[in-house]
């Protein structure tokens, strides 16, 4: 074979080196396990330590953790694009309401063999287990649960148990009224359902999703009146969770509807010791029904066979008793494991246990995200004073019924 010139040899060497580099990079990518998770407010070190524990226990795979958008609506669209396009993801967070949709479309793996229903029923809060089961199979693993709650400045007023009491407390407050999530997004749907349930309304009539009912019209008239009459600042019509938390934390509101994560944040402020967390109110003063939320760990249906044990191990690790204790203690995330509610080192969970027990889910349907899109627009029109409740709910019901017909 003819000898290569020096320049040709150097060129070939560089090409081989580049090829080897690419090969090593490709091999590293092939041995990677990609986790998409929501950002956690506060000190990131404890969560990072959980990830490092997994890395030490599984040195044969490279865990790549990527933070994704925290807003449910934005994350849903991000995941649609990623999963449909075959993007790089193995394990990811999913909102409690997405499991039926993702299971029906074939985007998530059936993990019934790894996490049988009997294990879920034994170890997890019943409502949390329900959210990962669909068509008799397991499609995800509960990570943390969530529920809508009411925060009250106890140095200003006592926690109200009725809607009339809420209005009265907000009106006589010297530090501002009541803030809730009124922006056009999924959070508004959660807030609206809590008020509808508080007025005795339902979300389902058999298999039909219902919104245009007497109770819903009364409930949404009340919600709109909060903004119209100045009980809530008009700014709530563009507010999400964090805008509400900052308003409350800065002393510009006496009452706030939010999620339990805000409790941990408030303990790091001058309001520590001056805030109560209770169930959302109702019309008659009975225990209100907070909207059931929560996040699950799901496995992409594209995960290859060799990687599946690692993905399963990661899901089990992040949802373990120890991991959920860290999430509850540091980040205020209510655990999905029932045993943690008996942990004396986490006294806040004793407050949450009965609230979670009374929580209610949004409609369970593979096409719920499309229903939510309809509701978000009409509910926003109601709280902003653009449309009357009876008109907006009638419009929403027609669109939802049409969606049901298309999906049948």
Beta bridge partners of 153: 275
Type and span of the H or E element at 357: helix 348-357
Which pLDDT score, from 0 to 100, does residue 404 have?
Answer: 87
Which pLDDT score, from 0 to 100, does residue 9 have?
Answer: 40
Which pLDDT score, from 0 to 100, does residue 408 have?
Answer: 61
Which pLDDT score, from 0 to 100, does residue 19 have?
Answer: 39
Number of Cβ within a 10 Å radius of residue 358: 17
Which pLDDT score, from 0 to 100, does residue 406 have?
Answer: 77
Low-confidence ranges of the chain (pLDDT < 50): 1-4, 6-28
Pairing of strands 255-258, 178-179: parallel
Q: What is the spatial distance between Cα 239 and Cα 247, in angstroms, rounded to a whole number?
A: 10
Tell me the backbone φ, ψ of residue 103, rounded to 5 degrees: -70, -45
CA atoms within 13 A on the CB side of 77: 8
Pick the CATH number of 31-146+292-357 from 3.20.10.10, 3.40.50.10440, 3.30.70.260, 3.40.190.10: 3.40.190.10
Which pLDDT score, from 0 to 100, does residue 140 have?
Answer: 98
Residue of 294, 331, 337 whose CA lies nearest to 319: 337
Give me the residue label for tokens 């560089």.
14
Cβ-in-10-Å burial (0-12, 13-18, 19+) of 268 comes to exposed
Which pLDDT score, from 0 to 100, does residue 71 have?
Answer: 84
Q: What is the spatial distance between Cα 148 and Cα 98, in angstroms, rounded to a whole number?
A: 18
Cβ-in-10-Å burial (0-12, 13-18, 19+) of 43 comes to exposed
Give me the residue label for tokens 């409690």.
96
Residue of 319, 353, 344, 372 whose CA lies nearest to 98: 372
Which pLDDT score, from 0 to 100, does residue 41 have?
Answer: 75
Strand, helix or coil for residue 61 = coil
| Helical residues (DSSP H) of 90-177, grouped into ranges | 99-105, 117-123, 126-132, 163-172
Q: What is the pLDDT of residues 226-273, one digit of tens each?
A: 999 999 999 999 999 999 999 999 999 999 999 999 999 999 999 999
Considering the entire predicted model, what is its pTM?
Answer: 0.87
Which pLDDT score, from 0 to 100, does residue 29 have?
Answer: 52
Which pLDDT score, from 0 to 100, does residue 20 have?
Answer: 35
CA Rg value for the chain: 24
Tell me the backbone φ, ψ of residue 57, rounded to 5 degrees: -80, -20
Q: What is the spatial distance between Cα 381 and Cα 82, in angstroms, rounded to a whole number?
A: 31
| Distance from the first to the final alpha carbon of the chain | 71
Who's near 14: CB < 8 A, 6+ residues apart? none
Q: How far is CA 178 from CA 93, 191, 343, in A?
A: 31, 13, 32
Q: Which two tokens stand for residue 14?
A: 């560089």
Task: Name the average pLDDT for the chain.
Answer: 92
Give me the CATH code for the 149-290+367-407 domain, please.
3.40.190.10
Give me the residue label for tokens 């992409």.
300
Q: Where in the chain is the domain with CATH 3.40.190.10?
A: 31-146+292-357, 149-290+367-407
Strands (E), 222-374: 255-258, 275-278, 292-299
Which pLDDT score, from 0 to 100, does residue 12 have?
Answer: 39
Question: Which one-letter DSSP state was computed for residue 205?
Answer: E
Give me the residue label for tokens 């449909």.
84
Query: In which order are the strands placed within the sheet that holds 32-37?
Result: 62-67, 32-37, 91-95, 292-299, 141-147
């Amino acid at each position: 074979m003819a000898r290569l010139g020096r320049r040709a040899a150097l060129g070939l060497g560089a090409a081989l080196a580049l090829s080897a580099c690419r090969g090593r990079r490709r091999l590293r990518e092939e041995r990677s396990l990609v986790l998409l998770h929501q950002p956690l407010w506060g000190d990131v070190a404890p969560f990072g330590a959980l990830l490092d524990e997994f890395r030490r226990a599984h040195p044969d795979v490279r865990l790549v953790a990527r933070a994704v958008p925290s807003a449910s609506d934005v994350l849903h669209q991000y995941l649609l694009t990623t999963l449909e396009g075959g993007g790089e993801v193995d394990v990811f967070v999913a909102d409690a309401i997405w499991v039926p949709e993702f299971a029906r479309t074939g985007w998530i793996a059936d993990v019934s063999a790894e996490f049988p229903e009997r294990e879920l029923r034994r170890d997890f809060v019943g409502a949390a287990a329900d959210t990962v089961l669909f068509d008799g199979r397991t499609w995800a693993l509960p990570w943390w649960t969530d529920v809508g709650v009411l925060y009250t400045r106890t140095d200003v007023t006592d926690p109200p148990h009725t809607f009339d009491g809420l209005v009265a407390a907000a009106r006589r407050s010297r530090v501002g009224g009541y803030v809730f999530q009124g922006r056009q997004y999924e959070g508004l749907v959660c807030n609206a359902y809590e008020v509808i349930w508080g007025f005795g309304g339902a979300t389902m009539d058999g298999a039909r999703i219902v919104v245009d009912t007497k109770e819903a019209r009364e409930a949404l008239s009340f919600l709109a009146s909060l903004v119209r009459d100045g009980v809530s600042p008009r700014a709530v019509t563009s507010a999400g969770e964090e805008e509400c938390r900052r308003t409350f934390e800065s002393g510009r509101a006496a009452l706030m509807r939010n999620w339990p994560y805000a409790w941990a944040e408030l303990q790091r402020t001058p309001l520590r010791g001056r805030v109560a967390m209770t169930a959302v109110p109702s019309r008659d003063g009975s225990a209100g029904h907070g909207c059931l939320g929560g996040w699950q760990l799901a496995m992409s249906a594209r995960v290859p066979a060799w990687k599946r044990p690692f993905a399963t191990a990661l899901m089990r690790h992040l949802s373990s008793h120890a991991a959920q204790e860290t999430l509850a203690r540091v980040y205020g995330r209510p655990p999905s494991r029932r045993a943690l509610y008996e942990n004396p080192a986490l006294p806040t969970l004793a407050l949450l246990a009965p609230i979670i027990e009374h929580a209610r889910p949004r409609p369970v349907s593979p096409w719920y995200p499309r229903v939510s899109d309809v509701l978000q627009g009409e509910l926003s029109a109601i709280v902003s004073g653009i449309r009357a409740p009876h008109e907006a709910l009638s419009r929403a019901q027609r669109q939802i019924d049409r969606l049901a017909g298309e999906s049948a």
